[in-house]
Amino acid sequence: MGRDNGDNSSVAYFSMEIGLEEGIHTYSGGLGVLAGDTIRSAADFRVPMAAVTLLYRKGHFRQEIGDDGWQREVAAAWPVEEHLEEMGARTAVEVEGRTVHLRAWKREVTGIDGFAVPVYFIDSDLSENSDWDRTLTHHLYGGDDHYRLSQEVILGIGGVRILRELGYGDVKSFHMNEGHAALLTLEILDEAARAAGRREVTEEDKRAVQDRCVFTTHTPVPAGHDKFPIGLARKVIGDRDDFFGLGGVLYEGNLLNMTYLGLNMSRYINGVAKKHGEISRLLFAGYCIDAITNGVHVGRWVSPPFAELFDRHVPMWRRDNFSLRYALSIPREEVWSAHTEAKRRLLGYVREEAGVEMEEEILTIGFARRATPYKRGDLIFRDGERLARISRGAGEIQLVYAGKAHPRDQGGKELIRRIFQAKDALRDDIKIAYLEDYSMTLGGMITSGVDLWLNTPEPPMEASGTSGMKAALNGVPSFSVLDGWWVEGHIEGLTGWSIGDPVRGKGEGRDNSRDAASLYEKLEGVIIPLFYQDREGWTDVMIHSVAINGSFFNTQRMMQEYVLNAYYLR
């Protein structure tokens, strides 16, 4: 099949990673899983969208953790042909003056009414390319700046070209999900210049591009904002003085900063939570930055016991996520029974995979995130002796951990090792399991099977976060720092509990010891007593987590906001 009937697609959604399902290894973490959930809700809402990403044949690794706590990576190949359909369309881009030939593979995401959104995976692994060029789409976030910029040429410029070859001739909105795709603006600039009979782009072309582009920034973490020296940019992209000379293309005259390129080339810009919008306006002064708070796809992340519960009591929940507010009327004993079933499944997995015998009646705390220092996964162990005293005195706790560190993130690997050290030090007082090879399936099992969701990032680095949203859908309250989405979802004692003080300004000088002290005080004085001494009160918090947070923090509501505020679909 060479061409798709793309004329009806009004939105082209570009993301460096897209996580559709566990067997398709084209995602790394939260950004990719969010992209997959976004596409699912676009299909549910019949939004005329096509999505574009790269085909990472070697994008994943299987995580193994030794007894010493050190992560080891094992290559994990996947059968592309079993999951994706190869398209006949071909295109090419110039990288360092060489022609790199490209093809696309397709996977359709079907919504609740049968409407399909196609996802196109661009692939440079073709025999007509050089050995090095064939590897350009092999590794997600791999290699050095040279490799990364070459990939971003393929994603941005090649992505627009492959869409044109597939028949998408009238895209109204190009949505850049982070700056990795910002070079799509160069291709649209060139299209505008050609339409005007010119070979070089001008400021007039830039205004035409801005009318068609939407940009979402996802993180205040510096590593999340790609920037390349002008020498490297000219080497990879070419001596495009017309492009590099446009206002707003180069940052401080000598850097191709992909975030600033996206900011300067878009009619609509948003952060991914209200607090993140504020932080983004501080980081990128002078830009009009809105906020559309992230969500999760309800049908994807509700556990089977809760899906059955909602089917009985809130039958429209899949089609109308906001109807989950009626969870307030579900009998408490049925909510607890559904949770117990999900918890039993998780603890069985912990026993089989980690060899840790955990008890169903004990307060089980979950933490499953990408392992990187700013997420502070070991904050709860800052004073191990105090934590042990709390478990002995106020009531027993047990902890379930999961999360991969990027292969080159030594700080993330050190974090996992410290958690293993705490696990050994506390083994006489607290059962702790660290589950290997964090995945979508495992993430869903943990977010639905624990009693309490722990989240301790260093503010304001969280931006949004979505793991706590998945927990809320399953009646699991959050115990979290007031950052990201939790600033909006937190009602103390009703949807969960906060740790520490709200972030001020850009959050400089956050005191880890104060956050740890707040965590211990609330765990000992409020959370543990409620869990063990007031089951009815605890179940009320569970129900409100679903009714207030589950009904709102979902990609159905998020997609409505994008359509109304960003895409301007008519």
Which phi and psi (to 5°) does residue 212 adopt? -115, 0
Amino acid letter, 169: G
Q: What number of other Cβ atoms are within 10 A of residue 232's Cβ?
A: 17
Q: What does the longest C-alpha to C-alpha distance in the chain come to? A: 78
Task: Assess whether the previous peptide bond of 460 is cis (omega < 30° from 0).
Answer: yes
pLDDT at 1 (0 to 100): 41
Q: Give the position of tokens 């073709």.
A: 126
Strands 98-110 and 116-123: antiparallel
Q: What does the alpha-carbon distance between residue 530 and residue 522 come to, in Å, rounded to a whole number?
A: 11
Residue 290 DSSP code: E
Three-state secondary structure call for residue 346: helix
6: number of CA atoms within 13 Å, CB side? 25
Kind plus residue range of the DSSP H or E element containing 350: helix 332-354
Q: Give the position of tokens 């039993």.
A: 344
3-state SS of 102-160?
Answer: EEEEEEEEECCCCCEEEEEEEECCCCCCCHHHHCCCCCCCCCCHHHHHHHHHHHHHHHH
Ranges in the chain, pLDDT < 70: 1-3, 5-8, 223, 505-509, 569-570
pLDDT at 508 (0 to 100): 57
Q: What does the alpha-carbon distance between residue 179 and residue 265 come to, in Å, rounded to a whole number?
A: 11
pLDDT at 507 (0 to 100): 55
Strands 290-291 and 363-368: unpaired
Single out the residue of 553, 554, 462 nearest to residue 510, CA to CA: 462
Three-state secondary structure call for residue 289: coil
463: number of CA atoms within 13 Å, CB side? 22
Strands 61-65 and 213-216: unpaired
Q: Give the position of tokens 């993301």.
A: 15
Which phi and psi (to 5°) does residue 86 adopt? -75, 135
Q: Give the position of tokens 């005191």.
A: 511
Q: What does the alpha-carbon distance between residue 542 and residue 496 come to, in Å, rounded to a whole number?
A: 8
| Cα 523 from chain centre | 28
pLDDT at 434 (0 to 100): 97
Q: CB of 138 within 8 A of CB of 126?
A: no
* Residue 197, Cβ density class (10 Å: 0-12 exposed, 13-18 middle, ≥19 buried): exposed
Phi-psi region at 364: left, alpha or beta (left = phi > 0; alpha = psi -120 to 50):
beta
Q: CB of 296 within 8 A of CB of 37?
A: yes
Q: What is the pLDDT of residues 224-283, one digit of tens each?
A: 789 999 999 999 999 999 999 999 999 988 999 999 999 999 999 999 999 999 999 999
Which phi and psi (to 5°) does residue 378 adopt? -105, 15
Q: What does the alpha-carbon distance between residue 306 and residue 12 come to, in Å, rounded to a whole number?
A: 34
State the DSSP string of 203-270: HHHHHHHHTTEEEE-----GGGS-EEEHHHHHHHH---HHHHTSTTTSBTTTEEEHHHHHHHT-SEEE
Q: CB of 51 within 8 A of CB of 39?
A: yes
Tokens of 314: 């809130």
Return the sign of the alpha-carbon dihedral for residues 26, 31, 34, 39: negative
Q: What does the alpha-carbon distance between residue 350 and residue 342 come to, in Å, rounded to a whole number?
A: 13
Single out the residue of 80, 228, 217, 87 nearest to residue 152, CA to CA: 228
Q: CB of 68 within 8 A of CB of 416?
A: no
Q: CB of 201 within 8 A of CB of 189?
A: yes
Q: CB of 476 within 8 A of CB of 542?
A: yes
Three-state secondary structure call for residue 172: coil
Cα 404 to Cα 26, 33, 35, 213, 541, distances in angstroms: 16, 15, 19, 33, 30
Amino acid letter, 485: W
pLDDT at 8 (0 to 100): 57
Residue 8 DSSP code: T
pTM, whole model, 2 decimals?
A: 0.95
Residue 68 DSSP code: T
